[in-house]
Amino acid sequence: MDHDTHAHWHDDAHGGAPSHAHAPEALSWWELWPMLAWGAFTVYLYATGRIFYLLQRFYGHLALGAGVVLLAAFAYGWLLRRRRLREDAAAEAAPAPAAPGAPCACAACRGRAGAGRYLRSLAFIVPLVIGLALPRHGPNALAAIQWGAGDLAMMAQLAAQRETERAEMQRGYGWLTLVGVAQRLAAGREEKVGAMGLIARKAGMPDDQFYLVRFTMACCAACAQPVAVPVQWAEAASLEKDQWVKVFGRLDASARLFVADDVQPVREPADPYM
Partner 1 sequence: MAYVRTNAIERRDKIKIALFVAMVLAVPAYIVLPWAHARLEDFFSTARAQLFGQVLIAILLEAFPFVLIGSIVSGLVEVLVPSERLSRVLPRRLWLRLLLAAGAGVVLPVCECGIVPVTRRLIRKGLPLEMAIVFMLAGPIVNPTVIASTAVAFAGQGLSLAMTVARVVCGVAVAVAVGAVAARWFVRRAAGPADEAGPPPGRAPRGPILPNVLTHVVHDFMLLGGYLLLGSVIAAGLQAFVARDLLAAVGGTPFLGTAAMMLMAFLLNLCSEADAFVAAAFSQFSFAGRLGFLVLGPMLDVKLVAMYLGAFPRRMLLAVLLLVPPLCLGLCELAGWLHALLAG
Residues 90-149 interacting with partner 1 (rule: CB under 8 A):
92, 95-103, 105-108, 110, 112-113, 116-117, 119-121, 123-124, 126-127, 129-135, 138-143, 145-148
> Of 135, 95, 92, which is closest to residue 242 (Cα–Cα)?
135
Cβ-based nearer residue to partner 1, 150 or 268:
150
Site membership for partner 1, residue 35 (CB under 8 A):
yes
Site membership for partner 1, residue 88 (CB under 8 A):
yes
Distance CA(98)–CA(92), nearest Å, equals 14
Q: How far is CA 143 from the centre of its chain?
A: 15
Cβ-based nearer residue to partner 1, 84 or 260:
84
Please report how close the Cβ of residue 196 comes to partner 1 at its closest, in angstroms. Answer: 21
Cβ-based nearer residue to partner 1, 64 or 260:
64
Out of 47, 49, 57, 66, point to the residue binding partner 1 (CB under 8 A). Answer: 66
Distance CA(70)–CA(34), nearest Å, equals 9
Site membership for partner 1, residue 70 (CB under 8 A):
yes
Distance CA(210)–CA(232), nearest Å, equals 7
For the chain, give the longest Cα–Cα distance: 92
Out of 76, 170, 187, 266, point to the residue binding partner 1 (CB under 8 A). Answer: 76
Out of 12, 191, 252, 261, point to the residue binding partner 1 (CB under 8 A). Answer: 12
Cβ-based nearer residue to partner 1, 6 or 214:
6
Please report how close the Cβ of residue 49 comes to partner 1 at its closest, in angstroms. Answer: 14
Q: Name beta bridge partners: 175.
A: 168, 194
Please report how close the Cβ of residue 15 comes to partner 1 at its closest, in angstroms. Answer: 12
Instruction: Name residues contacting partner 1, limited to 162-201 (CB under 8 A).
Output: none
Distance CA(93)–CA(81), nearest Å, equals 19
- Segment (H or E) for 247: strand 244-252
Distance CA(110)–CA(36), nearest Å, equals 28
> Of 251, 248, 249, which is closest to residue 188 (Cα–Cα)?
251
Query: What string marks each residue from 203 to 222 as x (binds partner 1 by CB under 8 A) or -?
Result: ---------------xxxxx
Instruction: Name residues contacting partner 1, limited to 219-248 (CB under 8 A).
Output: 219-223, 225, 242
Cβ-based nearer residue to partner 1, 157 or 170:
157
Write the CB contacts of 193 (distance below 8 Å, at least 6 apart in sequence): 167, 173, 174, 175, 176, 180, 181, 184, 248, 249, 250, 251, 258
Cβ-based nearer residue to partner 1, 142 or 237:
142
